[in-house]
Structure 1
């Protein structure tokens, strides 16, 4: 089963004025295996510019590059895949656009959504929010028990997201997941590279 490892989700606001690409490169230097470009307040042009630069960076560090929502920008930037939510274009349509060579991830918060995502062709699912999070206020909370039940029912990779911290990820390690999606807990640190190293030691 594909391993998504330490999965960094971008958010420029959390960087608080620091250079966007330098910060993401620090995460890649620190061992991030997947980067998802999710910039809620960027214009289309800004999003595309970031995507093209991140595609180069992720290739340099042999990391997967995922675009949030924007199927068009995923295609233009030659990203490895796209991640969509429950209110976005259905998975089957996205798959028909991006082709077999690109992966499609879907956000889910319960078993039913997970089953539908897999049935429609999702390559992986993002399950959350696992814990309280300030970066996605509309996220539904998911219990550890629900995560375990999703794992029993679904045989595609699972990436846990939402409020992950160094002091709570031990709860997830027994759930047989393939990725740990992190935003502020890493990008909010002054030394992103060192923080990634701490996470890698924890999730191994």
Structure 2
């Protein structure tokens, strides 16, 4: 086992919304995000795989303006150029995206950089870098993203927590029914897509998740 000293956990990691317009079910994208933030989302990642660069920048600018009102950081998925163009708060990169060292050099100090970890070797390699967070992905199987390794599950998350000095964000199949278990097994933050974007009320869905994150687990008593 690797002996690690945990880095300071960024308070923005608590409830992390990853956007997906299709999951908004035809509703206004910005309305869904703002409702989620009003419900307690603490950080938003803009993930766009199909937009042109100009359209991506335009969306990022508008979203950044919205989020600044609530003092919520904007993270751009993958696209360092878009992050630089709008002066986003940071980026999230996957294993096949730009290497961490290059991203850090381009963005400079003071920016949030998160990295996906899809297998144990990713966790161990990340020990060499001063990441803002490591995203254990996917924690559970999810239809939102299918081009990933096998799910970590809770035992895998616990292994990652024991072998990483970084705050861990979990994504993939998270909802109100399993978020507390993820926190109990080492997660510092919960990242969700459809659990908020597809909910009848994004604000209420965010409120429910935020309550789980911020409320200590009640003591269990034995039945007589």
Which bin holds the TM-score, normalised by the shorter protein?
A: over 0.9
Map of 1:185 onto structure 2: 195
Does the aligned pair in 1 maintain the 2:135–2:170 contact within 8 Å?
Answer: yes
The corresponding residue for 1:128 is 137
Aligned to 1:176: 186
Q: Is residue 2:65 matched to residue 1:95?
A: no
- Asked whether the 8 Å contact 1:95–1:121 carries over to 2, the reply is no
Partner of 1:2: 10
Contact persistence 1:92–1:121 (CA under 8 A) = no
* TM-align CA RMSD: 1.2
- Contact 2:169 2:188 survives alignment (8 Å): yes
1:69-84 alignment, distance < 5 Å: 69-84=78-93
Say which is worse superposed, 108-117 or 86-95, in terms of deviation.
Answer: 108-117
- Please give the TM-score of this superposition, normalised by the length of structure 1: 0.95
C-alpha distance in structure 2 between counterparts of 1:63 and 1:166, whole Å: 22
Give 2:205's match in structure 1, choosing from 181, 195, 199: 195
Structure 2 stretches lacking a partner, 5+ long = 1-8, 215-224
Total equivalences in the alignment? 204
Greater Rg by CA: 2
Question: Are residues 1:118 and 2:127 paired?
Answer: yes
Moved more, 164-173 or 66-75: 164-173
* Shift, 1:120, TM fit: 3.1
